[in-house]
Structure 1
Amino acid sequence: MAIQELPLVIQTSYAELIDQLRLATASDFPEGSTFRKRSISGKDYWYVQEPTTPQGRPPERYLGADTPERQTAIESAMNAKAHADTRKAIRRSLSGAGLPEPDSLTGAVIEAFAEAGVFCLRGVIVGTIAFQAYAGLLGVRLPSAAIRTGDVDLAQDYGVSVALNDSLDVSLIDVLKAVDKEFAPVPSLAGPNIAATYSRPGGYRVDVLTTNRGADRDAPVNLPSLRSDAVPLRFLDFLLRDTTEAAILTRFGTLVNVPSPERYAVHKLIVSTMRHEAGESAVKSDKDVVQAGLLVEALAAKRRQDDLADTLQEAAGRGPAWRDRLKQGATRLADGPREIVQAALA
């Protein structure tokens, strides 16, 4: 199918949403917080009432005496609340224009990850949720059949997780339970207390993935900064090498990290061949090929064909096995994308 570009006004609105989200991350207070100044014995003091959470409404919190520095921080937070209303309006216009938005549970999970600091710790959304984000990033329409999903895939480079001198305040399962108390870890074959997947009744899953640069191994490894175990996957280091910020259309928009679209497309070509060899569902392999083909077309339409060619050459340069998988995956693409990929690999 021919890729359709979104109207310029929609592309501009998406860029504005990204800018607004970057500003929002600088606030010291949760969005929706309200502030009150009280005079006690002739002196002024500030208090904050943070918004209601799934656990209920938190008690009012004392901030301290009225100082110029504290006033500046509070004014910034109050401005952020106004910006949140603006972002909500932008999100509505983008959704109305046909940009993908997650279901309510996925949106809540992504918002919870952002609030907990997952993306500040270089967590990366991969899989179909990331693919949805490329519509806005590239300014194109994506067919709904290629963007349906019921899961969230979260990844982090193992070396990054170990090297970071920071971690979540609570475990990843606690973050998920704050969204829905029915989330539970799925025990791994490696041990009853080892889990890299969290699920809730109905089959909804959150899978945590990480890089595997050594010998293939099935047992999960621990990601200290995300306070979770993760499944190590081959080729994931290639996918996570270059990431970019994207806006997911949650209630007020959420800023996340996703792989570059070039790497996502190339990675999907490789993964499609692996699923076939492993005897996995042909539906998943077909979806990989469809998503790769759509991104190849979109990148060509946006005059980013050279970026795609460079990424394909980098992957092919990693060895004969990589090149063979790329060639094999390319044979399943539609005519246009297949010619682009084969020309880059020639």
Structure 2
Amino acid sequence: MTISELPLIIQTSYAELIDQLRVHAASNFPEGSTFRMRRISGKAYWYVQEPTGPTGRPPERYLGVDTPERREAIEEGRRAKADADGRKAIIRALKAAGLPEPDGLTSAVIDALAAAGVFRLRGVLVGTVAFQTYAGLLGVRLPGTAIRTGDVDLAQDYGVSVAVKESIDAPLLEVLKSVDQDFRPVPSIAGPNVVSAYTRPGGYRVDVLTTNRGAERDDPVNLPSLKTDAVALRFLDYLLRDTVEAAVLSRFGTLVNVPAPERYAVHKLIVSTLRKESGESAAKADKDIAQAGLLIDALFAKRRKADLEDVLLEAVERGPGWRSRLETASERLNNDQKEPFTEILSKTVSG
């Protein structure tokens, strides 16, 4: 399909919303909080120390990797609080322009995860909720049939979860129960105390995923920073590399982490080939292909062919299994998507 771009004023408004959410994230601390930058293994990271309160001095908290945007947000956070009413006005304009918004329950869940520190601790939204954010990030219109969902998929790199040395205050189940007391853990065959998914009446689910770079495993693994278990999946480390910040259009807006759109597209093609092997429905594979194709169209429309080439090169260089899956999946793309995509794939293969 032909991808249409959003008006420039809407693209600018979305960028402004992300800027304001960064300010809000850095300014949402008591007066007297101090920010510190530390260098670990050659990279710079920001931390915040809140002042001593009635229960004593809280531990220093991790904010994230040092970037020009984060430094600017921290400076703004030192001077002023973000204007929530201003964000609401921007969000109303974005919704009126057709940008996707989550349903009320999903908004509440994402807000609760953000308030608990899940995204600050480098948790990442994946799946269709992440796909919804790409309309704003890429400045394009996405069809409603590709963005409907009733679930939240949350992921975190296992190495990150162990290395952060900090965790959310309450178990993930308690965070979800703060939204709806009917949330319950989904029983696991690995044991009664192993939980990697949560559900509520009506079938709404929150699934937690993590990376697995070794042999396939059935048993979930524990993510200490998120206080939950998670299903370890192959190929997920590729998806979670170089994540980007995005705005979810909840009531006041929520700053989240999502995969880079070009990685999401390539990963969805790979995942589509796994559906048949795992016995999942063909409808899920169709949705994978549809979302990948739309993002390929959008990336070309926004002149980001080079970004797609880079992540394709990385994927095919990971081995013949990766290349085989991508070649198989690309056959299901429509003609407009397939021609430029297979051209890129052939270049990276022969490269």
Q: Give the equivalent residue in structure 2 for 1:203.
A: 203
Q: What whole-Å deviation, never above 9, does each CA across 1:129-174 have from its counterpart, x for those lacking one?
A: 0000000000000000000000000000001101111100111111
User: Which residues of 2 match residues 41-52 of structure 1 at below 5 A?
Assistant: none
Q: Give the equivalent residue in structure 1 for 2:81.
A: 80
The amino acid across from 1:120 in the alignment is R
Q: Distance in 2 between matches of 1:77 and 1:253?
A: 21
The amino acid across from 1:324 in the alignment is S
Q: Is the 8 A contact 2:28 2:81 kept in 1?
A: no
User: Which residues of 2 match residues 151-190 of structure 1 at below 5 A?
Assistant: 151-190=151-190
Q: Give the equivalent residue in structure 2 for 1:248.
A: 248
Q: Distance in 1 between matches of 2:277 and 2:345?
A: 22
Q: Give the equivalent residue in structure 2 for 1:132.
A: 132
Aligned partner of residue 247 in structure 2, secondary structure: strand
List structure 1 segments (4+ residues) > 4 angstroms apart after TM superposition: 75-79
Q: Distance in 2 between matches of 1:62 and 1:166?
A: 22
Q: In the alignment, is residue 5 of structure 1 matched against residue 5 of structure 2?
A: yes
Q: Give the equivalent residue in structure 2 for 1:53.
A: none
Q: Give the equivalent residue in structure 1 for 2:295.
A: 295
Q: In the alignment, is residue 93 of structure 1 matched against residue 93 of structure 2?
A: yes
Change (3 A) 1:220 1:62: closer
The amino acid across from 1:134 in the alignment is Y
Q: Give the equivalent residue in structure 1 for 2:334.
A: 334
Q: Distance in 1 between matches of 2:163 and 2:29?
A: 28
User: Which residues of 2 match residues 167-316 of structure 1 at below 5 A?
Assistant: 167-316=167-316
Q: What whole-Å deviation, never above 9, does each CA across 1:28-47 have from its counterpart, x for those lacking one?
A: 449xxxxxxxxxxxxxxxxx
Q: Distance in 1 between matches of 2:242 and 2:337?
A: 22
Q: Is the 8 A contact 2:265 2:296 kept in 1?
A: yes
Q: Distance in 2 between matches of 1:62 and 1:197?
A: 36
The amino acid across from 1:9 in the alignment is I
Q: Distance in 1 between matches of 2:80 and 2:85?
A: 10
Change (3 A) 1:77 1:198: farther
Which shifted more, 161-170 or 286-295?
161-170
Q: CA deviation at 1:27?
A: 2.0
User: Which residues of 2 match residues 59-78 of structure 1 at below 5 A?
Assistant: none
Q: Is the 8 A contact 1:239 1:259 kept in 2?
A: yes
Aligned length: 306
Identity of aligned residues (%): 68
Q: CA deviation at 1:80?
A: 2.6
Aligned partner of residue 136 in structure 2, secondary structure: helix
Q: What whole-Å deviation, never above 9, does each CA across 1:209-258 have from its counterpart, x for those lacking one?
A: 00001110011000000000000000000000110000000001000000
Q: CA deviation at 1:76?
A: 6.5
Aligned partner of residue 178 in structure 2, secondary structure: helix
Q: CA deviation at 1:26?
A: 1.2
Residue ranges of structure 1 left out of the alignment (5+ in a row): 31-60, 64-74
The amino acid across from 1:187 in the alignment is P
The amino acid across from 1:121 in the alignment is L
User: Which residues of 2 match residues 104-123 of structure 1 at below 5 A?
Assistant: 104-123=104-123
Aligned partner of residue 27 in structure 2, secondary structure: coil
Aligned partner of residue 229 in structure 1, secondary structure: strand
Q: Distance in 1 between matches of 2:235 and 2:6?
A: 32
Q: Is the 8 A contact 1:28 1:77 kept in 2?
A: no
Q: Distance in 1 between matches of 2:28 and 2:266?
A: 39
Q: In the alignment, is residue 27 of structure 1 matched against residue 27 of structure 2?
A: yes
The amino acid across from 2:300 in the alignment is A
Aligned partner of residue 114 in structure 1, secondary structure: helix
The amino acid across from 2:299 in the alignment is L
Q: CA deviation at 1:79?
A: 4.9
The amino acid across from 1:335 in the alignment is N
Change (3 A) 1:187 1:78: farther
Aligned partner of residue 232 in structure 1, secondary structure: strand
Q: CA deviation at 1:323?
A: 0.2
TM-score after normalising by structure 2: 0.84
Aligned partner of residue 169 in structure 1, secondary structure: coil
Aligned partner of residue 20 in structure 1, secondary structure: helix
Structure number with larger C-alpha Rg: 1
Q: CA deviation at 1:77?
A: 9.4
CA RMSD for the aligned pairs? 1.9
Q: Is the 8 A contact 1:309 1:341 kept in 2?
A: no
Q: Distance in 2 between matches of 1:130 and 1:324?
A: 26
Q: CA deviation at 1:341?
A: 1.6
Q: What whole-Å deviation, never above 9, does each CA across 1:291-346 have from its counterpart, x for those lacking one?
A: 00000000000000111011111101111000000000000001121112211111
Q: Distance in 1 between matches of 2:77 and 2:290?
A: 44
